[in-house]
Amino acid sequence: MQRFESSAQGTAGVPYETFCEEVMSAFGAELMVLAPTGDGDYAYLRFGSELIRNVGADRVGERISTMAPQVARFTSACYDQALADGMPRYTVHRSLKTVRVYLWERLIMPATGRDGRRFLIVFGRPLQFREELLTTVLDTSPCGIVALQAVRDDDGNIERMAIITANRRAATIAGRDGEDLMDGDAQASLSFLSDATVWRRCIYAIELRRADMIETSLICGSQTIWLQIAVAPLGNGLVLTITDVTSLTVANQMLQSRAATLALEIGRERATRRALTQEIDQREEREQELRRLAETDPLTALLNRRSFTEKANAAIVACEESRAEMALIVVDLDHFKAVNDSHGHPAGDAVIRAFADLLLGLVQTDYDLIGRFGGEEFAIFLPRADLGVAQRTAQRIQQALAARRLPVSETLSLKVSASCGIATHRSGETLSALIERADRALYRAKNDGRACIRVAESRISAAA
């Protein structure tokens, strides 16, 4: 967006040839280029490799009119607006359930070529969970599950919440059996949210980043339904897990008035509580899985950079209090681009997964942290470890790579090497400064021929 703003020329957008030359090298894998066809449609002129991997096909030569009608209309309207006023557009849309990625975010940037032709340069990437996993979690749940996204005004205040997904059980509990609740207004679609107390507690859960458990009731026809709602903040929204506990509530009420059948009622109540406990345990397992997905890299199951940073910062505080030593290793696979170029991106993904498994086998302890920083770069944080321990760990990694080939498929395995940069923590040093020093050591290892280890601000090194 910054590059677009610095190059934009009014309603013409950016100069097409110059802008492509500037951004393709850095972002080409996630960029598509389209041109108007003159008949109200748009044709793909370019479709980046990451988009091909996620969609499962190369769409060069195709038109947007071949997409699902609702998505095609939405996309065409956004493209028309961008070309008309020369302004970029940020969009979020849901694709077909048959493709690998369900939710996308896109930045649409209009451009004009030297010959006056108009183009659209579009940056696209997956926004949220893969649909097949989310569908499985939702469809097998005995509870109602609803994900809400907060819609804020210019001052950052929550105006309303939109439903971004909801399972069939949630629609049934809300008295909208058979209806598709997605994209609807939460308060209008979910009657229990019209209760001011319930709504206020949901707002608090988002703003304070704090889970909550709410019990409420609603009138459905002539029947009172009692609900237990587990509220968990997620991003700029909430996940609601809704359990219909009407049977339990009614059983408890009847228990108070039926002393003559006390033993029978107690048995029923215990059975209901066991069933409720099982449901809550299942809900907690699903919530733990959702939290794990938010904290881990989807390709390797290692910590993602955000989660790695949070846990490493906490470990630094604990180690400084106990005056324990700490070390960081940054590992980068050598010549990884050649793997993608020679064998394709699926092979590159397989190499990254195999290397992540190797790291888990060599490094993982109760204290160590392993994260994927992106691409082929990994980080290993070693609390309670000095320079000698970090060097031996890096040497074990390189020795393991030298002794084996990483499996790519049943018929292909590849020989891979890695460069390592090591930095030991200094008193009072922040994690970002520690990472920066380890990165500089890694850069020296790359310049010294790769497949070697370099220590930050030290001459100590070890051959692969």
Q: What does the mean pLDDT of the chain come to?
A: 87
Give the pLDDT mean for 441-464.
Answer: 79
Domain holding 281, by residue range, is 131-293
Q: Tell me, yes or no, whether 266 and 320 share the same domain.
A: no
Q: Tell me, yes or no, whether 322 and 244 share the same domain.
A: no
- CATH code of residue 265: 3.30.450.20
Q: Tell me, yes or no, whether 208 and 311 share the same domain.
A: no
Count structural domains, the chain: 3
107 pLDDT higher than 70: yes
Q: Which of 258, 293, 328 is the endpoint of a domain?
A: 293
> For position 194, what pLDDT does the model report?
84
In the annotation, is 289 catalytic? Answer: no
- CATH code of residue 441: 3.30.70.270
Confidence of residue 310 (pLDDT cuts 50, 70, 90): very high
Alpha carbon distance 117, 139 (integer Å):
48
276 pLDDT higher than 90: no
Asked, for residue 300, whether it belongs to a domain, the answer is no
> For position 253, what pLDDT does the model report?
65
Determine the straight-line distance between the first and last CA of the chain, rounded to whole angstroms.
Answer: 42
Confidence of residue 132 (pLDDT cuts 50, 70, 90): low
Q: Tell me, yes or no, whether 116 and 165 share the same domain.
A: no
Count how many residues are written for the chain: 464
Asked, for residue 298, whether it belongs to a domain, the answer is no
Q: From the candidates 22, 310, 376, 457, which is the catalytic residue?
A: 376
Q: Tell me, yes or no, whether 459 and 345 share the same domain.
A: yes
The encoded tokens of residue 282 equal 């299942």
Q: Tell me, yes or no, whether 436 and 373 share the same domain.
A: yes
Q: Tell me, yes or no, whether 313 and 459 share the same domain.
A: yes
Q: Which of 293, 325, 341 is the endpoint of a domain?
A: 293
CA 114 to chain centre: 39
Q: Tell me, yes or no, whether 236 and 103 share the same domain.
A: no
Burial of 130 (0-12, 13-18, 19+ CB in 10 A): middle
Q: Tell me, yes or no, whether 106 and 209 share the same domain.
A: no
Residue 127's nearest CA partner among 160, 164, 154, 162 is 164
pLDDT one-digit tens code per residue, 357-403:
999 989 876 789 999 988 899 999 999 899 999 999 999 999 999 99
